[in-house]
């Protein structure tokens, strides 16, 4: 049986094994590291149908929930706020958080993010003409933004960035638990300090701390939410910036098109990058609570389901030439609009809460970087980049880049 997960051989394309299995229908049984067989969904329509089906549970504390990697056996993941709860708890918590990640709130933040990106490029140009784009640009943008939004001191960024990497890249449950508990204790101390402060500030965590009532929001709920937002708010976006840059540099004609794009066209170009890179590689992991018939297959109660964003985003029934990167991609087959049909942010009630923020950060990062350093290029061949392996979160540990020195100051 096909084993899952499998490493990519290209930073922005699914593993060859996924590509092979995706040619043989929308649902497939695959084997996890512990020998369990679950359903892998590669078809776009089937994925949307299943991610919206209430008979699939996201509750990671269930005994029958599939453990995709050994690290996810750690108690810190059982459950994980928002993505690991079912209604009604999920709905209550999401309503509490929604105003902080609204389109209006993100628009209000944009000017500050543009200023931040400009300062980071200034620093690169002063110390260049070479840099590690992860540490010098891609990581600081989302880290600073989520720190400000949550009310987490950015001076602690090395601690929470390192522990996040240790958590998400742990090889076993023990390593993940140690990193996760360090973050938990840090956030617990931080929230306790805001509770006793005369001026706790207006960060999301301080605001939520005032809503703890042991009914709709417990102290543990708050800590799980804080952990999920801190981790999700910087790691995935930083890796999307890094892998997006790699993808653009490997497709110079598409980079030229992105640089020529108007402000109105830029969001669609970013969505095409989100589709092709699929940095999270998984739109959702679920377990069936009752039998579900879909596309001629019956998913039995207790069986696990994993939706592959990298493959659903390449469904030829939706996308013409689905493996091609095209920032001007228009309507797909049958008139289905290709743009935001991608499942990189998931679908249904668990769709990524921070997607407006992530899109804005990506738009600012790519436009600022390539406007200011138009001849940016990789300092090593793409096949020598130190990529993440052994998991479902794609990324690079470092991204060496260089330029001629003729950048725009």
* Residue 31's CATH number: 1.10.630.10
Is 365 a domain residue?
yes
What is the number of domains present in the chain? 1
| Res 332 pLDDT > 50 | no
Tens of pLDDT, residue by residue over 342-395, are 999 999 999 999 999 999 999 999 999 999 999 999 999 999 999 999 899 999
Name the DSSP class of 77.
G
Distances from the Cα of 61 to the Cαs of 33, 83, 304, in angstroms? 19, 12, 14
- What is the average pLDDT across 47-62? 96
Contacts of 265 (CB under 8 A, 6+ apart): none
Is 137 a domain residue?
yes
Tens of pLDDT, residue by residue over 300-327, are 999 999 999 999 999 999 999 999 999 9
Is 3 a domain residue?
no
Is 126 a domain residue?
yes
Local confidence band at 337 (pLDDT 50, 70, 90 cut-offs):
very low
Three-class secondary structure of residue 187 per DSSP: helix
Is 408 a domain residue?
no
| Res 334 pLDDT > 50 | no
The predicted pLDDT at position 214 comes to 85
The predicted pLDDT at position 20 comes to 94
Local confidence band at 162 (pLDDT 50, 70, 90 cut-offs):
very high
Query: Which strands make up the sheet holding 130-132, listed edge to edge?
Result: 130-132, 400-402, 377-378
Mean pLDDT of the chain: 93
The predicted pLDDT at position 155 comes to 96
The predicted pLDDT at position 237 comes to 96
Local confidence band at 119 (pLDDT 50, 70, 90 cut-offs):
very high
Which residues constitute the domain of residue 254? Answer: 16-402
Tens of pLDDT, residue by residue over 251-303, are 999 999 999 988 888 999 999 999 999 999 999 999 999 999 999 999 999 99
Is 123 a domain residue?
yes
- What is the average pLDDT across 204-225? 92
The predicted pLDDT at position 409 comes to 57
Is 8 a domain residue?
no
Alpha helices in 250-277 (DSSP H): 252-260, 266-277
The beta strand positions in 79-132, using DSSP E, are 130-132
116, 384 Cβ separation under 8 angstroms: no
| Res 80 pLDDT > 50 | yes
Tens of pLDDT, residue by residue over 3-47, are 999 999 999 999 999 999 999 999 999 999 999 999 999 999 999
Q: Give the DSSP H or E segment for 299.
A: strand 297-299
Three-class secondary structure of residue 309 per DSSP: helix
The predicted pLDDT at position 371 comes to 95
- What is the average pLDDT across 205-222? 92
Is 1 a domain residue?
no
Name the DSSP class of 382.
G
Tens of pLDDT, residue by residue over 229-246, are 999 889 999 999 999 999
Cis peptide before 88 (omega within 30 of 0): yes
């Amino acid at each position: 049986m096909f084993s899952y997960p499998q490493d990519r051989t290209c930073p922005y394309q699914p593993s060859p094994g996924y590509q092979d299995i995706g040619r043989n229908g929308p649902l497939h049984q695959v084997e996890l590291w512990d020998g369990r067989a679950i359903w892998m969904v590669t078809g776009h329509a089937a994925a949307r149908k299943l991610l919206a089906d209430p008979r699939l549970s996201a509750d990671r504390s269930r005994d029958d929930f599939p453990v995709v990697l050994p690290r996810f056996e750690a108690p810190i993941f059982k459950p994980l706020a928002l993505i690991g709860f079912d209604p009604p708890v999920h709905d209550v918590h999401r309503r509490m958080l929604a105003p902080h990640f609204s389109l209006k709130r993100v628009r209000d933040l944009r000017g500050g993010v543009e200023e931040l990106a400009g300062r980071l490029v200034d620093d690169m140009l002063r110390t260049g003409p070479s840099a590690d784009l992860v540490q010098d640009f891609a990581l600081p943008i989302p880290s600073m933004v989520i720190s400000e939004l949550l009310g987490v001191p950015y001076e602690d960024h090395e601690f929470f960035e390192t522990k996040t990497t240790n958590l998400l890249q742990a090889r076993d449950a023990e390593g993940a638990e140690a990193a996760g508990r360090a973050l938990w204790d840090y956030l617990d101390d931080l929230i306790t300090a805001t509770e006793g402060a005369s001026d706790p500030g207006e960060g999301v965590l301080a605001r939520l701390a005032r809503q703890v009532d042991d009914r709709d929001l417990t102290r543990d709920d708050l800590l799980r939410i804080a952990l999920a937002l801190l981790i999700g708010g910087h790691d995935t976006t930083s890796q999307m910036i890094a892998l997006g840059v790699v993808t653009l540099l490997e497709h110079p004609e598409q980079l030229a098109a992105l640089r020529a794009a108007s402000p109105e066209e830029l969001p669609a170009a970013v969505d095409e990058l989100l589709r092709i890179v699929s940095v999270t590689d998984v739109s959702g992991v679920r377990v069936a609570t009752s039998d579900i018939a879909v596309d001629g297959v019956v998913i039995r109660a207790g069986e696990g389901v994993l939706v592959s964003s990298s493959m659903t985003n390449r469904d030829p029934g939706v996308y013409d030439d689905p493996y091609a990167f095209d920032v001007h991609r228009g309507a797909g087959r049958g008139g289905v609009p290709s743009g935001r049909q991608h499942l990189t942010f998931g679908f249904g009630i668990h769709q990524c809460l921070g997607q407006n923020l992530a899109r804005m950060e990506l738009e600012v990062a790519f436009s600022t970087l390539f406007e200011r350093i138009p001849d940016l290029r990789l300092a090593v061949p793409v096949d020598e980049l130190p990529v993440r392996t052994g998991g479902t979160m794609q990324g690079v540990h470092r991204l060496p880049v260089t330029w001629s020195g003729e950048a725009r100051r």
